Amino acid sequence: MTEPRKRPGFWWLLFYGRRRRGFPLLLVATFAAIIALALASANPRVADLARGYAGVFFLVLLAAVVVLAVLAVVRPRRRR
């Protein structure tokens, strides 16, 4: 009797799962944001300004997440 096939692990699926196409824009944008925020925090004036606008930034970010979640529920998936 053959053994049942084990499900591939998380890391295998992350790197060897479905083939990805296109340029990884989200990855590049994440690294660009990290570098921009690191450079901004080096300047005391920009760091004080960023602390002042942090609440507004998080409210806008939260609103964007809610809008995208609603759009994901309302918009039907494409059939392939």
In a domain, 52, yes or no: yes
Cβ distance 46 to 40 under 8 Å?
yes
pLDDT band at 63 (very low <50, low <70, confident <90, very high): very high
In a domain, 17, yes or no: no
Query: pLDDT digits over 13-58, tens only?
Result: 666 666 667 788 888 999 998 998 888 788 888 878 877 888 888 9
In a domain, 8, yes or no: no
Range of the domain at 67: 24-74
Give the separation between CA 72 and CA 14, rounded to whole angstroms.
23
Give me the number of domains the chain comprises. Answer: 1
pTM as predicted: 0.46
Per-residue model confidence (pLDDT) at position 20: 67
In a domain, 29, yes or no: yes
How many helices (H) does the chain have, and how many strands (E)? 3, 0
Q: What is the mean pLDDT of residues 56-72?
A: 92
Cα–Cα distances in angstroms (integers) from residue 21 to residues 18, 35, 56, 77, 80, in the given order: 10, 26, 35, 18, 15
